[in-house]
Amino acid sequence: PAASVLYPYGREQGDHKNPKLDDGTSEKISLAVPFTFYSKEYQNLYVNNNGVISFDSQVREYTPDPFPLADGRPFVTPFWADVDNVEGGDVFYRETTDPTLLALITKNINQYFPDIPYTATWAFVATWDHVAYYGTVSNKGNTFQAALTTNTERSFIILNYQDIQWTTGEASGGDPETGLGGTPAHAGFNSGDDKNFYNIPGSQTEAIINITQTSNVNVPGRWVFQVDEFKVTGVPTEAPKVANDNNCWL
């Protein structure tokens, strides 16, 4: 099998785990190190079950909207959709200064952004592990992750996609048997203003199920962005293609 794009996660890594609650969120998490997101420092965040890391306020909405959001909420979303961890899966998170993980993140950022001197001193990792969708009558689960990292001067977000089997919950118009159709998941980030945002190609279309095969850093299933100021690197201009029932690319 292909090597995992995910950073280590789970109870053995010291992760916290979100409650089993549809449209639930973590408690308010006070960060030991402020995270700079588009020139604003944030000291608090929430890990929301529906695939969102938000700054300062919770996000319980389950049907995604494209960015920029009219209400100006700043957040990062690897996969904003109607997750239901009551039906299956877990949502993990931790704030960390583990030297082994920071060394790996540093190596990755140096590889993807060779012109930016960077040594990670802090990270926050949230992982959605085989999470189900609302209204499911299947055993489908999605596994994806978002990592925030900073050296107090530069900030990056890393979005990792290991296994995406569904795109849409039933309340968003999805089929309860397949988890497809309706208003599919959205991925990217919203800074809170109407200029600095990014919608990963394929968002809110059936093509988002193939996000494990797309990238802006030539690593399938990984998207990485510098977010202390707006810089989008290596971004494709075309949405990913969709496989038909015969596994032929359309």
Q: Is residue 1 packed enough to be buried (19+ CB in 10 Å), middle (13-18) or exposed (0-12)?
A: exposed
- Predicted structure pTM score: 0.92
Measured in whole angstroms, how far is the alpha carbon of residue 117 from the centre of its chain? 25
Non-local (6+) Cβ contacts of 93 within 8 A are 15, 16, 18, 26, 29, 47, 124, 125, 126, 127
Among 65-69, 74-78, 146-150, 226-230, the least confident range: 226-230
Listed residue (88, 97, 96) closest to 136, CA to CA:
88
What confidence score (pLDDT) does residue 241 get? 53
What confidence score (pLDDT) does residue 154 get? 96
Quickly state the pLDDT bin for 130 (edges 50, 70, 90). very high
Rg, the chain, Cα only: 17
The rounded mean pLDDT for the chain is: 92
Measured distance CA(153)–CA(121) in Å, rounded: 10
Beta bridge partners of 223: 159
What would the two tokens of residue 202 be? Answer: 């394929």
Measured distance CA(207)–CA(240) in Å, rounded: 6
What confidence score (pLDDT) does residue 230 get? 62
pLDDT tens digits, 94-128: 999 999 999 999 999 999 999 999 999 999 999 99
For residue 250, pLDDT over 60 is answered with: no
Listed residue (103, 123, 133) closest to 53, CA to CA:
123
Quickly state the pLDDT bin for 166 (edges 50, 70, 90). very high
What confidence score (pLDDT) does residue 195 get? 86
- The letter for the amino acid at 55 is F
Cα–Cα separations (whole angstroms), residue 164 to 45, 171, 214, 228: 25, 19, 12, 29
Quickly state the pLDDT bin for 225 (edges 50, 70, 90). very high
Are 142 and 127 in contact by the 8 Å Cβ rule? The answer is no
pLDDT tens digits, 54-95: 998 999 999 999 899 988 899 999 999 999 999 999 999 999
